[in-house]
Structure 1
Amino acid sequence: MSKIGRAHLVVQIFNDPIHGHIEVHPLCVKIIDTPQFQRLRDLKQIGGCYFVYPGASNNRFEHCLGVCHLAGQLARILQKRQPELDISDKDILCVEIAGLCHDIGHGPFSHLFDAKFIPEALPGFKWKHEDASKMMFDFLITDNKLEEEFEKYGVDDKDQTFIREQILGPQKDTNRIVANERNGIDVDKWDYFARDCHGLGIKNTFDHNRFMKFARVIKVNDSFQICSRDKEAETLYGMFQLRSVLHRRAYKHRVCNAVEAMIVDALISANKVEIVPKKDGTCLTLSECIKDPEGYTKLTDSIFHVILMSTKPELEMARTLLERILHRQLYRCVGDTTPKRTPKEEDTEV
């Protein structure tokens, strides 16, 4: 990376394999240079797929950089194309920060942790990685004393509340750039489609740059929404078709499912032991970390090797399961069934 002046700012340039050379605002750089964000380097984007696809080694770190870039790119296009929207440079910065921090709450092996491990470790407990992202965003600011940096660029409490709302996900009646619950068309998907296809060796058939060329904010049924030309309907159908392909060929691959089931069983077994250390010398179990940002900062995919290298007798079952993965002695499917209910969006999102 290198530094370059842009107006009164000194931005940093990151060479991203997907989006090329991207400019990053100095406040975003301050966020990136924290332990809470750097932990994303050790969180696999698509969980157990790396045990099946040799190229699926992309992490949440580069994904968040990509979402930050695309969020700013789309917001600037709308700012320039529709000045009547009164989109300010600070608005764009807030959207970029939201894109940068939207996934800092993911746990080990990403969705394996929040969608499979936590529901089994804490039955009935309502929690999702967006809740942890908000917790980690707040902790990131206080732990690294970034309050003055936010003030320096005019990002006040109201703006930080807006960022948190973006991180937590929008309400059903709103249309946002980072996460769009209304129709699922957002920059988060655009980045992981391109990034996952790159690593998996699957052709990316969706061109997000073309979509942005035709994007407009239009008032629909008393609310403003990001819309596209009717002739782009086929392009958007292709986006969701690509998502289906990724799920069938990679995310829900039978061997990926077997590996992830074994990792979950290992984590459940290990959850009986306090193995995540804190500064005060105490330790937490894996599931306790979701309420403790200090412990969560240390919780990454490295827990796989922490368990493997441990000599604690209480972790023998967890070690055995992980050693079986390394020897490719995987679970085998003995039967299947058709669920009676239609899977919800959160059951399948990545």
Structure 2
Amino acid sequence: MAGKGTKIFRDPIHGNIRIFPFELNIIGLKIFQRLRCLKQTPSVAYVFHSANHTRFEHSIGALHVSEMYARNLDIIDPEKELLRLCALLHDIGHGVFSHQYDVTVYREIYPEAEHGHDKHRMKIIREYLPEILLNTYDEAELERSIKLSGLGKYLTSSVDETIRTIMNKIAEILESEGEVFYNLIHGPFGCDRMDFIKRDSYFSGTCHYGGFPLDRFILFSSIRDDGNGNKILCYSSKILDDILLLLINRFQMFKNVYFHKTCRALDLMLQQILRYSMEPLNLVERTVNLEEFEKLNDNSLFYEILFCFQDSGELKEAHKLIDRILRRDLYKTVIDEAELPTQEQIKKYTASGFLKMLAENRKAALKKLYEKEEGDECPRLFIDTPYEIRMNPLQELLKSNIDIYDETEKIPKKYNEIERERSFKTLNVESFNIYRLYTLSDTEREKLISYARSIMKRKKPKIDTQI
């Protein structure tokens, strides 16, 4: 039975999800409702036809997983409610076409940020949410919601001050990488990843890639002392096999779904649409202005370009790309290769830098061979180097400051210690990297494919890795 002021959301992944009053206040805001119009995986639905779920459903699901963690770890209010709110708001900063906005528009706004949506999230939480909550609801309702949601500890004589305090605490958690609460949200087994793998695999029709036992990760999680007086998130040595299963599930989702060659063709086209429309549609300015940002979503941008555009250069190109997507006339693969860079190559270039260099070399060689043999200009080629997929549990856990709790010795240990002591060898593959070359259509692909095969038979281009 739902408590006073709460509602039950029915979810295909987790069943009934309880939502508390202050969370409902936030969910009712336009800045949150826009997540209904941001697909979780914008390109995947063109290959896996039922993958039309959104960031809205995922945010509700992540909130539910955070509640499961809080109950198992005996986290009580107000900290429990802060954790739930962090999960609810963790994707609030995503832009049009999700991660494609990060590498285009957000790259202009936050050039130093790896994930611009995380930076924008902080701006929304700290600056915008307090303002619009107070403008949307009367103070008495907000005060009541805060009390009923377990946040009464933060109430002062000023509701404005109370809400700003709560939002600052949420932002602090989401910025505290390596800390326990951060890892419960964004860690390798945090509620974000746990929900999106389950949800994306379900809606993509690949449920077998979401087969890891979520309940065991929750049940065998604990908060321990690291021996230096610091709290650390641990997972029991009893679930070592489950950890491997989750990493394999994640790997298969990236390899077969997110990085599917046709999905990535769509991603390239969506990136180009954003680049073509960025200046004529003032996307940078409209993103910085949060009142304008809440009007931007996947649907609105398509509509704006299709029906409101003027017949000008860049916007006309964006219009052509959308028209091609709607006809499912997508870019075609010419070269599709996986590569495992050596440690020397990673040290000098980084994995992604090395892959881009290799792809540029392949592109140049293909262009040169085609123009030499055909005596004509080479068709357009586009490079795609999806980001690195980490496969080694040690890489994942060390980066996140998460330990394995040895159930025999009753102490936290690093993953590699457990691995050595038990002769428990995991995956040898440290990362998985793909690079591809695309061209505009089947016609261009047919022109290029024989030359591409010839290029790929050659010895790999030599790239200097000396430091």
TM normalised by structure 1 equals: 0.84
Residue 118 of structure 1 pairs with residue 105 of structure 2: yes
Within 2, Cα distance between the matches of 1:166 and 1:185?
Answer: 17
Secondary structure at the aligned position of 1:270 is classed as helix
C-alpha contact (below 8 Å) 1:175/1:224 kept by paired residues:
no
Report the counterpart of residue 162 of structure 1 in structure 2.
169
Report the counterpart of residue 294 of structure 1 in structure 2.
291
Q: Give CA deviations for 1:231-274 in whole Å, capped at 9, x if unaligned.
A: 21110111111110000011111101111111111221111213
Percent identical pairs in the alignment equals: 28
Change (3 A) 1:68 1:122: closer
Which of the numbers 188, 194, 200 marks the counterpart of 2:198? 194
Residue type at the aligned position of 1:320: K
Question: 1:331 Cα deviation (Å)?
Answer: 1.4
Question: 1:144 Cα deviation (Å)?
Answer: 2.9
Secondary structure at the aligned position of 1:334 is classed as strand
Report the counterpart of residue 144 of structure 1 in structure 2.
133
Residue 56 of structure 1 pairs with residue 51 of structure 2: yes
Report the counterpart of residue 72 of structure 2 in structure 1.
77
Report the counterpart of residue 305 of structure 1 in structure 2.
303
C-alpha contact (below 8 Å) 2:5/2:21 kept by paired residues:
yes
Secondary structure at the aligned position of 1:234 is classed as helix
Question: 1:129 Cα deviation (Å)?
Answer: 0.7
C-alpha contact (below 8 Å) 2:70/2:80 kept by paired residues:
yes
Q: Give CA deviations for 1:37-65 in whole Å, capped at 9, x if unaligned.
A: 00000001012111111011110001000
Secondary structure at the aligned position of 1:185 is classed as coil
Report the counterpart of residue 40 of structure 2 in structure 1.
45
Name structure 2 gaps, 5 residues minimum: 155-161, 354-385, 390-467
Within 1, Cα distance between the matches of 2:179 and 2:56?
Answer: 30
Secondary structure at the aligned position of 1:333 is classed as strand
Which of the numbers 24, 27, 30 marks the counterpart of 1:29? 24
Question: 1:122 Cα deviation (Å)?
Answer: 6.2
Residue type at the aligned position of 2:57: E
Q: Give CA deviations for 1:11-69 in whole Å, capped at 9, x if unaligned.
A: 11110111001111111011101101000000010121111110111100010001111
Within 2, Cα distance between the matches of 1:167 and 1:64?
Answer: 15
C-alpha contact (below 8 Å) 1:14/1:22 kept by paired residues:
yes
Q: Give CA deviations for 1:69-116 in whole Å, capped at 9, x if unaligned.
A: 11122112211xxxxxxx4311111111111011010011211211x3
TM normalised by structure 2 equals: 0.64
Change (3 A) 1:224 1:123: closer
Question: What are the within-5 Å matches in structure 2 for residues 193-232 of structure 1?
Answer: 193-202=197-206, 203=208, 204-222=210-228, 223-232=230-239
Within 2, Cα distance between the matches of 1:268 and 1:13?
Answer: 41
Within 2, Cα distance between the matches of 1:242 and 1:60?
Answer: 21
Within 2, Cα distance between the matches of 1:29 and 1:120?
Answer: 32
C-alpha contact (below 8 Å) 2:106/2:116 kept by paired residues:
no
Secondary structure at the aligned position of 2:332 is classed as coil
Secondary structure at the aligned position of 1:88 is classed as coil
Which of the numbers 264, 271, 278 marks the counterpart of 1:264? 271
Within 2, Cα distance between the matches of 1:120 and 1:105?
Answer: 14
Residue type at the aligned position of 1:291: V
Residue type at the aligned position of 1:319: H
Change (3 A) 1:159 1:310: closer
